[in-house]
Structure 1
Amino acid sequence: MSLTEVLEHTPNEPDALYDAFVGWATGGGFSLYPHQDDALLAILSGANVIVTTPTGSGKSMIATAAHFATLAGRGRTYYTAPIKALVSEKFFALVETFGADLVGMVTGDASVNPDAPIIACTAEILANIALREGADADVDQVVMDEFHFIADPDRGWAWQVPLVELPQAQFVIMSATLGDTTRLQKTLTDTTGRDVTEISDAARPVPLTYRWSLDPIHETISTLVADQQAPVYVVHSTQAAAAEQAQSMLSLGAAKPSKERAEQIKEALAGFKFASGFGSTLQKLLRSGIAVHHAGMLPKYRRLVEQLAQQGLLQIICGTDTLGVGINVPIRTVLFSSLTKFDGRRSRQLRSREFHQIAGRAGRAGFDTIGYVVAQASEHDVENARIVAKHKDNEKKLRSVRRKKAPEGFVNYTEATFTKLIESEPEELFPRMRITHSMLLNLLERDGDAAAAVVRLVDSTVTDRRTRRTLLRRAAALGRSLLSAEIITRLPEPTPSGRRYQLDVDLQHDFALNQPLSALALAYMETMDEDEPDYALDVVSVIEATLEDPMTILVQQQFRERGEVVAELKADGVEYEERMEILDEITWPKPLAEKLEGAHEEYALKHPWLRESPVKPKAVVRDMYTAAMTFA
């Protein structure tokens, strides 16, 4: 019997709902763990619930119970996650549990059944609803998964906004690595007036063992596979390193499948179309039981890898730390190729939360009795360990032999670092806030005092006076830019609800500024002459100017351009110093740069948010077309 059918025969009373849900779970072969039972009782009592239990301890069952309880009261419940892939995965799981009519999905790219009583969405979607509608929003319950993202400098605001702006909602907050939740509990109580129950005493269903490896990484992986500790997920700091490692393991034949498994893989891949280039490479890897998995892959490839992993057909998966975001890739062993990462600004050691979030994915409940976490020593430490082992009986030789040094800029980590991470507790989460034009425009759609809402949001996040002042000054500056652009006007008198400004433009219901340059691109293309011979290529260049710069490609284009120029300058007898001055001004091709920058400046007068999103002229696709290149 489906949960929807159970609801049809269950009165909306806590005791009846409790018995019905436990009965449904038991009928499906699941006995609730004590912490799941406690969470169900807390949800049915109307309390906010914070679930900070280990990975694999059944948080999904708690989320299902939450949706069940809200549906029983004819309410509307939202499930939020940080990435679209996880939202999509959860959407299909919820459809299977509650039926397609009751479940919808909304992301920045797709909208399916958006009026359904259960909505799976990205955190930003719900945050924008909270900003626009506040206490009037049709949101009775919010299940926030991977809640540790609230500390993300760029995206944390999307987790904080609903906590402050949805006082009518019950919150179920989940993460394996929350740390001290005292501050979070206070925010929830202050906003909603509900009691808060923390569920944090769950035992991990599949215990973990930890090991430090001083073998070369390919030997470490081969040993894990040989010792029946596969599937192995090898965590790399970059996507390129993950792909390179997968290719290396393919060359070594480290995961060569049996005839039976090879046939199963062949059947699983039947009918799937792989493009040339990376697709062809991935196909070869998969046929050998090896995969690559990271956010830079096309969704269809990433989903295929996850499906094969769920079927137990993969032995080695080389990926990045996207594993820690709750993606359902069942694995037995997590192998850290390094205990450092580049965070966008600098290379550093992994933090406690990052380590535990990834390590916790090892061991599959219902499949494994133990999970394995292995940390790989750095290459120079591996080499030095080999030297020590080779000369361990010759102390004189050992003293004189030259040890391998760490490469320049290397962020050091040792077995002691590994031990410290294992024993550490996740750091306390501190929420982040960003003030943007999009936030202000969404708040201004609400019939209330937008300025007071901004102050409330800032005060819920920061205690430091300087940071508070900076955020409020930014809000004031952005507000003035909206006034200057005549997007908003000040009312002569505040409305009874406290509204002081009104929008002078009509915004669509789901307005957002995820791609602020798109409107500029469309407006500019309307001014272009379709009869011009380069019209189609110029359209491509306009679109390319709205996208992020792929610096690896652009640097190579710049290198090529400079090479051509320096050859000409040498042929013309230009002196070295003058050549260097000229070369400093040579960059990658930027078609329409002057025109697009002029249009951007003009368009920004009426659309001030564009000032924070400059155009980025480039010619990647255009260059490929004119040179008759392919993606292979």
Structure 2
Amino acid sequence: MNPAHPDSPVQPTLADQLPDLAEVPEFLLDDAVLESFLAWARGRGITPYPAQEEAATALAAGDNVILATPTGSGKSLVATAAHFIALAHGQRTFYTAPIKALVSEKFFALCEIFGPEKVGMMTGDATVNGRAPIICATAEIVANIALRDGAAADIDQVVMDEFHYYSEPDRGWAWQVPLLELHQAQFLLMSATLGDTTWLEKDLEQRTGRTSTTVSGTTRPVPLDFHYVYTPVHETVEELLDTGRAPIYLVHFSQREAAERAQALTSVHLLGDKAQTAERKAAIAEAISSFRFSSAFGRTLSGLLRKGIGVHHAGMLPKYRRLVEKLAQQGLLTVICGTDTLGVGINVPIRTVVLTGLAKYDGIRHRVLKSREFHQIAGRAGRAGYDTEGTVIVEAPDHEIENYRLRQKAGSDPKKLKKMRKKHAPEGRATWSESTFERLTTAEPEELVSQFRMSNAMLINVVARDQWTYAALKGLLRGNHDTRAKQNQEILTTLDLYRGLLRAGIVEEVAADTPSGKDARLTRELQRDFALNQPLSPFALAALDLLDPESPTYTLDVISTFEAILDEPGQILTAQQRARRGEEIAALKAEGVEYTERMALVEEITWDMPLHDELEQAYGIFCETNPWAKDFRLSPKSVVREMIEKAMTFSDLVSTYSLARAEGVVLRYLTDAWRTLSHSVPPEHRTEELEDILVWLGELIRQVDSSLVDEWAAMSDPDVPVTAEQVAEHAFGVGDASLLSSNPRALRRMVRNHLFRHVELFAFERENQLAELDSSLDTPPDWPAEMDAYFDEYDDVGTDTAARSGDLVLITEDAGTWTVRQIIDDPEGDHGWAFEGVVDLAATDDAGDVRLRSLQVIRG
């Protein structure tokens, strides 16, 4: 659906098409609702496929529907019909998806279709318009509501997209629980790769009392043409361009490979003949003219986009991913180098999918793709309404390509063939062949596999119900989709968990009118989403009482306490560990320590873990009375703290640890830290310094990427809908971050950080980094000379808490410029040396980061 431009007249929404059912005879209700929806579709030039109309008709009749049609057959339209039908009957409907990005995408799409006041969103860490009749939510949200409220839940309909996630080992429970508990609800389960669902159809009928209809079929609106090729990727791309089969999505199984491939393709001419090239370049330049490429990878991406090359993976900043999707939807990109996230319903319309391999590392082992994974990715090829067929190409492994070329060179000469030295597949890695390809193209998706499991968090949600706990648990443990043997094991696990909650005093047994004469209840109230939004927050709050408010590091220790409960940003921590090990190896080498001994000594080095021993000890004590906390893991780390201690910007952090390909991971972590600290630290533990840090961190996040849906979490009332302007802003990517100078408190902190960053680098004599930091200055200081002069006078430069004190920073604020003096904390306390700079506010607003007009060193 194309959104209305912000300046265009208000367009009627689908909600405006709702029929007045009070005037419709009962026996015509279903037809009236369905006809209203189909009239809206026809008005938008949409003619539903037979499968779409069949599914919508069944939904209007009140049936459950399992929609197992191929990718590209319009499941989104059926989901829209389901929401419309529920809305017409005054019901509340939930859309669920496996990842927050997809929930966000659907939220804004439905806001455009139904109007913002009708649509809300819940992702565990952000709630918008939470009382709306249409809610977009992650599967875990719906599962936790089902566990807490059972059939009494305020949910009349559930639309579960990408339902094959039912088989995911870690998350499948969240897709099964709603089916087990929401007996009152109507279900629409959608996926192109479900396998045989006969058992599921019968199970749904038995639980809900509704007829269940499976709508399936193997005929795609846009058929697929499969090929296995022995040409290197760049040759494959050139062949596809020559035969008019662009746009092309190149699928990789690591973010690094996707980014490197995009760079490698810059030498391939992608934009057509001379006239076409000029026209396409102009269109791309116009489309991205007002977009701020504010980060290291952003500048790389800008150059790639101008050549018609996109990059798309989860490690990118959300605004970059959304820009690539937008340009792809406008038909401006020839090639997109991405990862297999394409298989999760991300909206990137393409003609051809090229899989650069058929094996991936899944976090545990390197393995060949499953049939379901292959078909989810391949199914994205072919654009309905544009292409008569989609093309799917699988690249042979490198060693097979080399062997193929050797055979071609040898021809039919038996002597040459005999002498041919074949290449072998790399050891320790899964490989594939043409027979693997042929098997996957014809194989049916694997059967859905139950992944039910019980946890403390699930058990607490069930005990919190008003109804009899034993009956509710029996329904879950004996009514789930597991085998009898696995159910027995899960029952034993649940008994252990229950006894632990009793011993901890979280659950107590009380007399009740039940067959056993007793029931269970919670002894304390827990927030409804305690297991979703930083579940260890209660521990962090308790641990704050162990800190010394008089300590000079108190504010940093508060931050470290909450950083310890955040999910681990793996790429950041690995990079920090690598850097610490590298520094130690260099030091040991300088001391003459032998290689073997050096490697043994650094083996134990990990990333920095402030308060590790204190927090681990406190956590052990906390778990004795809060056994549910054992479901989660404490993880001390220092990301925000390090940024404060070293006065680092977002760009500094990315550059220091070479995280350009993981900027999205960095931003997500900083956003989680900011939100958790903002919402969780009680007033008695909030210092003025912490308040300054929160303002700075929030503004830093907004300047890096203001498109995050999590911004809506900052709204004072989560029951308030977004506005039509906000919907249009999201859809078009207009409206960049607000001017940095409009938040003077945050800017003061950033200016202080910028000057102290100079102190930090000066202290460690990192003249190259200082030169890079001041590269925009016409006449930067002569840092080597200044260092020589300073260290002739003093032995050290202070970089501790005292050196970062606001007392050593003087800022004079004038219109257009600020003057700032950062006094150096020398060991003698003379304070005669300083760095003095002039901040250019206009350039700062333009860059979204501090920009100096001049900088000089003041000598004592």
TM-score normalized by structure 2? 0.69
Q: Distance in 2 between matches of 1:277 and 1:393?
A: 52
Aligned match of 1:139: 155
Q: Structure 2 vs 1, CA of residues 577 and 410 (structure 1 numbering), >3 Å: closer, same or farther?
A: closer
Q: Distance in 2 between matches of 1:39 and 1:585?
A: 58
User: Is 2:358–2:432's contact at 8 Å kept on the other side of the alignment?
Assistant: yes
User: Of the candidates 340, 344, 367, which is equivalent to residue 363 of structure 2?
Assistant: 344
User: Of the candidates 545, 564, 583, which is equivalent to residue 545 of structure 1?
Assistant: 564
Aligned match of 2:578: 556
Aligned-pair CA distance for 1:418: 0.7
Aligned match of 1:208: 224
Q: Distance in 1 between matches of 2:287 and 2:542?
A: 46
Aligned-pair CA distance for 1:621: 5.1
Aligned-pair CA distance for 1:218: 1.8
Aligned match of 2:99: 83
- CA distances 1:169-220 after superposition (whole Å, capped 9, x unpaired): 1111111111100221122012101111111136311011011110111221
Aligned-pair CA distance for 1:518: 3.3
Aligned-pair CA distance for 1:495: 5.3
Aligned match of 2:248: 232
Query: Secondary structure of the residue that 2:66 maps to in structure 1?
Result: strand
User: Is 1:438–1:513's contact at 8 Å kept on the other side of the alignment?
Assistant: no
Q: Distance in 1 between matches of 2:602 and 2:318?
A: 40
The 5 A counterparts of 1:58-97 are 58-97=74-113
Aligned match of 1:294: 313
Aligned-pair CA distance for 1:113: 1.0
User: Is 1:516–1:609's contact at 8 Å kept on the other side of the alignment?
Assistant: no
Aligned-pair CA distance for 1:454: 3.1
Aligned match of 2:843: none
Asked if 1:161 corresponds to 2:169, the answer is: no
Aligned match of 1:387: 406
User: Is 2:107–2:136's contact at 8 Å kept on the other side of the alignment?
Assistant: yes
Opposite residue 4 of structure 1, the aligned amino acid is A
Q: Structure 2 vs 1, CA of residues 403 and 562 (structure 1 numbering), >3 Å: closer, same or farther?
A: same
User: Is 2:270–2:334's contact at 8 Å kept on the other side of the alignment?
Assistant: no
Aligned-pair CA distance for 1:626: 5.3
Q: Distance in 2 between matches of 1:119 and 1:297?
A: 27
Q: Structure 2 vs 1, CA of residues 494 and 281 (structure 1 numbering), >3 Å: closer, same or farther?
A: farther
- CA distances 1:368-424 after superposition (whole Å, capped 9, x unpaired): 111010000111111111111112153312211211111111212111111111111
- CA distances 1:11-46 after superposition (whole Å, capped 9, x unpaired): 371122232222222222122221122112211221
Aligned match of 1:457: 476
Aligned match of 2:850: none
Asked if 1:219 corresponds to 2:208, the answer is: no
- CA distances 1:539-580 after superposition (whole Å, capped 9, x unpaired): 443344333143531441353254156337646xxx888777
User: Of the candidates 631, 634, 654, which is equivalent to residue 631 of structure 1?
Assistant: 654
Asked if 1:108 corresponds to 2:124, the answer is: yes
Structure 1 stretches of 5 or more lacking a match?
none
Aligned-pair CA distance for 1:270: 2.5
Q: Distance in 2 between matches of 1:568 and 1:464?
A: 61
Q: Structure 2 vs 1, CA of residues 583 and 26 (structure 1 numbering), >3 Å: closer, same or farther?
A: closer
Asked if 1:567 corresponds to 2:583, the answer is: no
User: Of the candidates 500, 505, 508, which is equivalent to residue 481 of structure 1?
Assistant: 500
Aligned match of 1:180: 196
- CA distances 1:304-327 after superposition (whole Å, capped 9, x unpaired): 111111111111111111111111
- Bigger mean CA deviation after superposition, 490-499 or 609-618: 490-499
User: Is 1:447–1:499's contact at 8 Å kept on the other side of the alignment?
Assistant: no
Opposite residue 508 of structure 2, the aligned amino acid is T
Aligned-pair CA distance for 1:526: 4.8
Which structure has the bigger radius of gyration? 2
Q: Distance in 2 between matches of 1:465 and 1:579?
A: 54
User: Of the candidates 141, 146, 150, which is equivalent to residue 125 of structure 1?
Assistant: 141
Query: Secondary structure of the residue that 1:631 maps to in structure 2?
Result: helix
Q: Structure 2 vs 1, CA of residues 576 and 212 (structure 1 numbering), >3 Å: closer, same or farther?
A: closer
Aligned-pair CA distance for 1:434: 2.2
User: Is 1:214–1:376's contact at 8 Å kept on the other side of the alignment?
Assistant: yes
Q: Structure 2 vs 1, CA of residues 177 and 263 (structure 1 numbering), >3 Å: closer, same or farther?
A: same
Query: Secondary structure of the residue that 1:229 maps to in structure 2?
Result: coil
User: Is 1:123–1:159's contact at 8 Å kept on the other side of the alignment?
Assistant: yes
Opposite residue 51 of structure 1, the aligned amino acid is L
Asked if 1:504 corresponds to 2:515, the answer is: no
Aligned-pair CA distance for 1:335: 0.7
Aligned-pair CA distance for 1:465: 4.1
- CA distances 1:273-326 after superposition (whole Å, capped 9, x unpaired): 223222222222222221221222222222111111111111111111111111
Query: Secondary structure of the residue that 1:591 maps to in structure 2?
Result: coil
- Bigger mean CA deviation after superposition, 517-526 or 502-511: 517-526
Aligned match of 2:856: none
Aligned match of 1:414: 433
Structure 2 stretches of 5 or more lacking a match?
1-11, 656-860
Asked if 1:189 corresponds to 2:205, the answer is: yes
Aligned match of 1:24: 40
Aligned-pair CA distance for 1:272: 2.0
Query: Secondary structure of the residue that 1:491 maps to in structure 2?
Result: strand
Q: Structure 2 vs 1, CA of residues 196 and 498 (structure 1 numbering), >3 Å: closer, same or farther?
A: farther
- CA distances 1:437-472 after superposition (whole Å, capped 9, x unpaired): 221111112122334333332334454344223222
| Matched positions, count | 629
Q: Structure 2 vs 1, CA of residues 577 and 399 (structure 1 numbering), >3 Å: closer, same or farther?
A: closer
Aligned match of 2:539: 520
Q: Distance in 2 between matches of 1:404 and 1:569?
A: 43
The 5 A counterparts of 1:205-354 are 205-252=221-268, 254=270, 258-354=277-373
User: Is 1:448–1:499's contact at 8 Å kept on the other side of the alignment?
Assistant: no
User: Of the candidates 4, 25, 34, which is equivalent to residue 15 of structure 2?
Assistant: 4
Query: Secondary structure of the residue that 2:511 maps to in structure 1?
Result: coil
- Bigger mean CA deviation after superposition, 438-447 or 376-385: 438-447
- Bigger mean CA deviation after superposition, 495-504 or 554-563: 495-504
User: Of the candidates 599, 604, 622, which is equivalent to residue 603 of structure 1?
Assistant: 622
Q: Distance in 2 between matches of 1:488 and 1:237?
A: 45
- Bigger mean CA deviation after superposition, 158-167 or 298-307: 298-307
Q: Distance in 2 between matches of 1:596 and 1:577?
A: 34
Q: Structure 2 vs 1, CA of residues 270 and 538 (structure 1 numbering), >3 Å: closer, same or farther?
A: farther
- Bigger mean CA deviation after superposition, 382-391 or 250-259: 250-259
TM-score normalized by structure 1? 0.93
User: Is 1:35–1:202's contact at 8 Å kept on the other side of the alignment?
Assistant: no
User: Is 1:249–1:255's contact at 8 Å kept on the other side of the alignment?
Assistant: no
Q: Distance in 1 between matches of 2:454 and 2:208?
A: 23
User: Is 1:70–1:76's contact at 8 Å kept on the other side of the alignment?
Assistant: yes
Q: Distance in 1 between matches of 2:605 and 2:101?
A: 40
- Bigger mean CA deviation after superposition, 8-17 or 602-611: 8-17
Q: Structure 2 vs 1, CA of residues 18 and 352 (structure 1 numbering), >3 Å: closer, same or farther?
A: same
Sequence identity of aligned pairs in percent? 51
Query: Secondary structure of the residue that 2:18 maps to in structure 1?
Result: helix
Opposite residue 191 of structure 1, the aligned amino acid is R
Q: Structure 2 vs 1, CA of residues 280 and 577 (structure 1 numbering), >3 Å: closer, same or farther?
A: closer
Q: Distance in 2 between matches of 1:30 and 1:167?
A: 34
Q: Distance in 2 between matches of 1:296 and 1:579?
A: 33
Aligned-pair CA distance for 1:347: 1.1
Aligned match of 2:712: none
Opposite residue 207 of structure 2, the aligned amino acid is T
Q: Distance in 2 between matches of 1:526 and 1:59?
A: 52
Q: Distance in 1 between matches of 2:36 and 2:136?
A: 24
- Bigger mean CA deviation after superposition, 361-370 or 387-396: 387-396
Indicate the RMSD between aligned Cα atoms, in angstroms: 2.5
Asked if 1:589 corresponds to 2:608, the answer is: yes
Q: Distance in 1 between matches of 2:600 and 2:32?
A: 80
